[in-house]
């Protein structure tokens, strides 16, 4: 069993607060390097599907649908572990990221400082992928 299998089939046994809109923010972090890759949102179903399949799922607020990360781009996130915060209203996905997490081609969506300077690495050309 690889490390990545550890999350598969895990039960949810903490109280979660999905709020009025049914969503919680979910932070994806590279399980090896600790790099914060992205922040998206999850429904209870997205969390369940993530734990069932071992691949990170989110809920797209713009497309209004369940979304498997990488289903289009191939840049999937194999799920190592899901953590829950103290209030049960935020998730942390520890993942093995294939390619880049960001649709812009950067490894992480957090590739810029607030002053606009670029600190991240571009790992693919989005024109080749989307």
Nearer to a second copy, 29 or 76 (CB): 29
In the complex, minimum distance from the CB of residue 38 to a second copy, in angstroms, rounded to a whole number: 7
Q: What are 17's two structure tokens?
A: 């607060």
Binding site annotation covers 85?
yes
- Running DSSP on this structure, what letter comes out for residue 15? -
Binding site annotation covers 86?
yes
Binding site annotation covers 128?
no
Mapped onto helix, strand or coil, the DSSP state of residue 110 is coil
Q: What are 122's two structure tokens?
A: 């571009």
* End-to-end Cα, the chain, rounded Å: 33
CA dihedral 92, 69, 54, 23 (to 10 degrees): 50
In the complex, minimum distance from the CB of residue 29 to a second copy, in angstroms, rounded to a whole number: 6
Binding site annotation covers 21?
no
Q: Which residues contact a second copy by CB under 8 A? A: 10-14, 25, 27, 29, 33-36, 38-39, 47, 51, 81-87, 90-92, 102-104, 106, 109-116, 119
Q: Do the Cβ atoms of 23 and 42 come closer than 8 Å?
A: yes
Nearer to a second copy, 76 or 108 (CB): 108
Binding site members for Zn(2+): 86, 102, 109
Binding site members: 85-87, 89, 102, 109
């Amino acid at each position: 069993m690889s490390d990545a299998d550890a999350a598969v089939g895990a039960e949810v046994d903490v109280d979660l607060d999905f709020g009025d809109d049914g969503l919680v923010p979910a932070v994806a972090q590279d399980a090896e390097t600790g790099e914060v890759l992205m922040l998206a949102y999850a429904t209870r179903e997205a969390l369940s599907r993530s734990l069932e399949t071992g691949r990170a799922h989110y809920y797209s607020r713009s497309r209004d649908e369940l979304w498997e990360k990488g289903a289009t781009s191939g840049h999937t996130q194999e799920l190592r572990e899901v953590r829950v915060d103290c209030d049960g209203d935020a998730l942390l996905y520890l993942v093995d990221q294939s390619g880049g997490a960001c649709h812009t081609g950067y490894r992480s969506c957090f590739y810029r400082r607030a002053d606009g300077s670029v600190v991240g690495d571009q790992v693919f050309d989005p024109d080749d992928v989307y």
